[in-house]
Amino acid sequence: MRHKKFGRHLNITRSHYKSMFLNMCNSLIENKIIKTTLDKAKELRHIIEPIINRSKINNLHNRRIILNKLKNKKNVFLLFNKIAPLYINRLGGYTRIIKINNRKGDNSKMSFIELVDKNLLI
């Protein structure tokens, strides 16, 4: 029985989950759009949106918390100085998932996940 089990487990270990989504968060901040499977994109949204929400308040405490999560100073700088000021008046929904064709080979559902208003970030 799956009582009180939540989230997508994606058939991977917890350490692989952490490292994979750390890399995906950093890639999304750097490139503004990434291509991944639909389940990973939906799970990434739950990880990256609280990070962007915390970055809207620019103080040392929030910078240290996000640096502890992202482990990349360049991306923390980008997040606080370029990305977060665009979302000051937005209450949520910083990412958009766009479904695309299935992957050739294993027929898994693919999608793009991107930051909303990414053309303003360039």
> Rounded to an integer, what distance in angstroms lies between the CA atom of residue 89 and that of residue 110?
31
Query: In this predicted structure, which of 60-64, 70-74, 98-102, 115-119 has the lowest mean pLDDT?
Result: 115-119
Q: Are 76 and 58 in contact (CB under 8 A)?
A: no
> So what's the pLDDT on residue 6?
78
**Tell me: the pLDDT tens digits for 68-82?**
999 999 999 999 999
DSSP code at position 57 = S
Angle value at C-alpha 98, between 94 and 100, nearest 5 degrees: 160
pLDDT at 41: 97
pLDDT of residue 1: 84
Do 93 and 61 form a contact (C-beta atoms < 8 A)? no
pLDDT tens for 43-77 read: 999 999 999 999 999 999 999 999 999 999 999 99
Which of the four pLDDT bands, split at 50, 70 and 90, describes residue 121?
Answer: low
Domain extents in the chain: 14-120
Give the up-direction half-sphere exposure of residue 90: CA atoms within 13 A in the CB hemisphere: 19
Q: Class for domain 14-120, per CATH?
A: alpha beta
Tokens of 3: 């009582």
